[in-house]
Chains A and B, each alone.
Chain A
Amino acid sequence: MAKKPLGPVRRAFAPWENPEQQPFIEFRNVTKRFGSFVAVDQLSLKIYQREFHALLGGSGCGKTTLMRMLAGFETPTEGQIFLDGQEITRIPPHRRPVNMMFQSYALFPHLNVEKNIAFGLKQDNLPRSDIKRRVDEMLALVKLEAFAKRKPHQLSGGQRQRVALARSLAKRPKVLLLDEPLAALDKKLREETQIELMNLQEELRMTFLIVTHDQEEAMNLADRISVMNSGHILQVATPGEIYEQPVSRYVADFIGDINFFECKVTGCRPQNGGASITLHSEELGNEIKVKAGHPRMIGDAVTFAIRPEKMRISFEKPLDPSLNTIKGEVWDIAYLGDVSIYHIKVSQGHIVRTIVANTTRLVERPISWEDKVWLSFDAEAGVILSQ
């Protein structure tokens, strides 16, 4: 697929676009069964050095299992795992250059903060002075110098989480695994920690693999996201691509809000590299013109998906003939402060959601309940998904 930069580019880092680039972590056709239950199914995934990669998916889709296989706590039933060019499928956890930050933090209750952080370094039999220096470094990194002698039960949740992070970073692993590291924190602390994590990753130049089921967190942190569902990866892409060009209805629905319309392909002609497609939607009673990456067969049943913020709303029908226009009536308005969500009832009683930024004060809001309005969007605003 020809790529144009989508969304804001955080930094020029895209090794996955280079076919020559060797992956740093590779899952090759990995399957994990628990008895007859298949937790991870024929999964392949490549992660590159210094990438911040997020595994995103609903509960029970196999994220933790995948991560535990990389850490060495589970052995794949089939398939292989490579790290830095070496096969590690059957290497026990204590001999892998991979460290994990546990969801429960798993701090050793009988050791103080300092000794918790030093634990991994001691296993390598480093000289005492080196251990001391590294521990101090880590304590400074997570700003816990004042708490070095405290036991874990004498710390707050946020402090404990930082000790766990420091402990897993102390050995400078090749890969840091984070299993829902921020799930137990409140919103504000979570956002702060996200920024800290991003800075840390940049600073330490490590590869991070994070598990989360918070889509905002994944979008915020990761260079690339793998969206998982029942043991499969549905899509691996940058946050922007996942949001703008989801490959399936599940992915589109999982991330952000989106409208779906069941359609039939009524026309298709090639147009500089892609295709210009016409759809007909019963629900809308409308034709939709779409610019797509590749052609479709006429007569195919497809789903057209469009994000609420990609649609305009106006009293007058826009004059530009290249725009798609749909007639409707304002059914409901949800005022959220920065934006309002308009629920527009279209011809067949179908409800379409659209977002309008509240650039003017509430009292001056021009469009109100039961107004007859026009929705409009251009040919590139939405995507066609196979059913």
Chain B
Amino acid sequence: MKALKKDWFSITSLVLGFSFLYLPIVILVVFSFNSSKLVTVWGGFSTKWYSALLHNEQLLSAVYITLRIGLVSASIATVLGTMAALVLAGRGRFMGRTLFSGMIYAPLVMPEIILGLSMLLLFVAVDQARGFWTITIAHTSFTMCYVAVVVQSRLAMFDQSLEEAARDLGCPPLKAFFVITLPQILPGVLAGWMLAFTLSLDDLVIASFTSGPGATTLPMAIYSQVRRGVTPEINAICTIMITAVTLGVITISLLNKQAHTKKQSSATIRAGS
């Protein structure tokens, strides 16, 4: 820290980098408290745009749909992703496990537009009317990979002989999973759920491809309004979203950190004994 203080170059780069990253967001947040209707002119502090939001039926219903999709898809994705992680982390050997392990990462790097388009083609092919459920299914399928990756890294720390010990003591396999394995990997599973939920909340591309009449998510609603001009109301809703996502990210990192320090403290005691 001391060295940093004297090093003007470091400070300048830090300030520049972070301004570049956060200035737009700060401006957005500040202007959400602007009393003037003009987005670029400061007219004094006010929270009126937040109360105005409460009367914007269109936005409110978009929020409601988005939350519902997020909750349902994150929950399904967590179950499926955890199951995939369990298999890939070594329960049972089978042909081509390495291939599957690699394939689980593919949707993480695949352009969203391709994911969305392929989902759309699938729904068209099976002649599925698009709406709430098609978005939910699409979100489940792409967030599931993130859950699998997060849970898998958690499982790598898990001593499999614990589950064997439980079975040895008379516990049937499924119960052994729920009473022994799950409590151990729970921070990972919760972090996976949070991640899936957050990803679902702010997805625009895949939702646009897979939505239908009556199922407009919040990012879609914002996007379509912005095309007609940015209003302070949009700034307000965005500020709320930023807050929600930030809280989510903080929770995830706390969950992981807590698990990490727990592991470390027990390791220290072990080494000391």
Q: What residues make up the interface of A, taking CB atoms closer than 8 Å to B?
A: 71-73, 92-95, 98-100, 102, 104, 106-110, 119-120, 123-124, 152-157, 167-168, 171
Asked if B202 lies at the interface with its beta carbon under 8 angstroms from chain A, I say no
Asked if B7 lies at the interface with its beta carbon under 8 angstroms from chain A, I say no
Residues B164 and A106 in contact, CB atoms below 8 Å apart: yes
Residues B164 and A119 in contact, CB atoms below 8 Å apart: no
Taken together as a complex, chains A and B put the C-alpha atoms of A14 and B190 apart, in Å, by: 57
Residues B167 and A108 in contact, CB atoms below 8 Å apart: no
Q: What residues make up the interface of B, taking CB atoms closer than 8 Å to A?
A: 159, 161-162, 164-173, 176, 180, 183-184, 265-266, 269-270, 273
**A92: B residues at CB distance < 8 A:** 167, 173
**B164: A residues at CB distance < 8 A:** 73, 93, 102, 106
**A102: B residues at CB distance < 8 A:** 161, 164-165
Task: Please give the distance in Å from B91's CB to the nearest CB on chain A.
Answer: 13
Selected from A152, A154, A171, the residue in CB contact (under 8 A) with B169 is A171
Task: Please give the distance in Å from A188's CB to the nearest CB on chain B.
Answer: 15
Known contacts A106-B162, A110-B184, A157-B273; is-contact A171 B167 (Cβ 8 Å): no
Taken together as a complex, chains A and B put the C-alpha atoms of A109 and B170 apart, in Å, by: 18
A–B pairs, 28, beta carbons within 8 Å: A72-B167, A73-B167, A73-B168, A92-B173, A93-B167, A93-B168, A94-B167, A94-B168, A94-B171, A94-B172, A94-B173, A95-B170, A98-B168, A99-B168, A102-B161, A106-B159, A108-B165, A110-B184, A119-B171, A120-B169, A120-B170, A124-B170, A153-B269, A154-B269, A155-B273, A157-B270, A167-B165, A171-B170
**B184: A residues at CB distance < 8 A:** 109-110
Residues A119 and B166 in contact, CB atoms below 8 Å apart: yes
Contacts A73-B167, A94-B168, A153-B270 known; 5 new A-B pairs at CB < 8 A: A71-B168, A106-B161, A108-B162, A119-B166, A168-B168
Q: Using a Cβ cutoff of 8 Å, how many contacts connect chains A and B? A: 70
- 10 closest Cβ contacts across the A-B interface? A153-B266, A120-B169, A123-B170, A106-B165, A156-B273, A106-B161, A93-B167, A94-B167, A94-B170, A157-B273
Taken together as a complex, chains A and B put the C-alpha atoms of A187 and B22 apart, in Å, by: 60
**B269: A residues at CB distance < 8 A:** 153-154
Task: Please give the distance in Å from B211's CB to the nearest CB on chain A.
Answer: 42
Residues A119 and B169 in contact, CB atoms below 8 Å apart: yes
**A156: B residues at CB distance < 8 A:** 273
**A119: B residues at CB distance < 8 A:** 166, 169, 171
Task: Please give the distance in Å from B165's CB to the nearest CB on chain A.
Answer: 4
**B166: A residues at CB distance < 8 A:** 108, 119
**B162: A residues at CB distance < 8 A:** 106, 108-109
